């Protein structure tokens, strides 16, 4: 019984730390990135100004398999967007334009937190791309249609 209590306490602590961390990333994303990148599945794609996060992360994860690499990529891209580095398909850049550098809007440290949160939460479980099914999604762009 005692051990169980202890384990419960440890579990709760971990959960709290995790939640705090996640909220930090979420609120940073909200203030720094969400103006352009929506975090839910868009009901009206014609109003989008940038690919939704779930699409972005799906493609980031196709290219970068470890969290470390993915976080490094996202942080670097947000400060220095370049078409040659993009994991989005060229037609996305054509449609939305290249992402404007977020230099001055967000720091490297904040980006670590944001990118880590993005990696942990997107794409949401069961996400299969926008529209069509899984499998054929490779290379369809950040916002798969």
Q: Which residues bind ligand HEC (CB under 6 A)?
A: 32-33, 35-37, 50-51, 56, 74, 77-78, 81, 86-88, 92-93, 96-100, 102, 106, 114, 142
* Complex with ligand HEC: residue 16 or 83, whichever CB lies closer: 83
Q: How far is the CB of 82 from ligand HEC (least distance, A)?
A: 8
Q: List all residues 6 or more positions away from 99 whose beta carbon is below 8 Å from its beta carbon.
A: 36, 50, 77, 78, 81
* Complex with ligand HEC: residue 13 or 68, whichever CB lies closer: 68
* Complex with ligand HEC: residue 114 or 130, whichever CB lies closer: 114
Task: Answer for the pair 48, 35: CB distance below 8 angstroms, yes or no.
Answer: no
Q: What angle do CA 24, 26, 105 make, to 5 degrees?
A: 85
Helix, strand, coil % over all residues of the chain, rounded to 5? 55, 0, 40
Q: What angle do CA 30, 35, 38 make, to 5 degrees?
A: 75
- Could you tell me the two tokens for 82? 């370049």
* Complex with ligand HEC: residue 13 or 31, whichever CB lies closer: 31
């Amino acid at each position: 019984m005692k051990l169980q209590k202890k384990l419960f306490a440890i579990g709760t602590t971990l959960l709290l730390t995790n939640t705090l961390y996640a909220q930090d990333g979420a609120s940073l994303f909200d203030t720094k990135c969400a103006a352009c990148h929506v975090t839910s599945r868009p009901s009206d794609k014609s109003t989008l100004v940038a690919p939704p996060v779930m699409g972005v992360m799906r493609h980031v994860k196709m290219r970068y398999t470890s969290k470390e690499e993915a976080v490094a990529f996202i942080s670097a891209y947000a400060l220095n967007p370049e078409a040659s580095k993009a994991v989005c398909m060229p037609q996305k850049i054509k449609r939305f334009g290249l992402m404007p550098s977020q230099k001055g809007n967000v720091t490297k440290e904040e980006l670590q937190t944001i990118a880590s949160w993005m990696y942990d939460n997107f794409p949401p479980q069961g996400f299969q791309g926008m529209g069509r099914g899984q499998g054929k999604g490779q290379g369809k762009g950040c916002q798969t249609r």
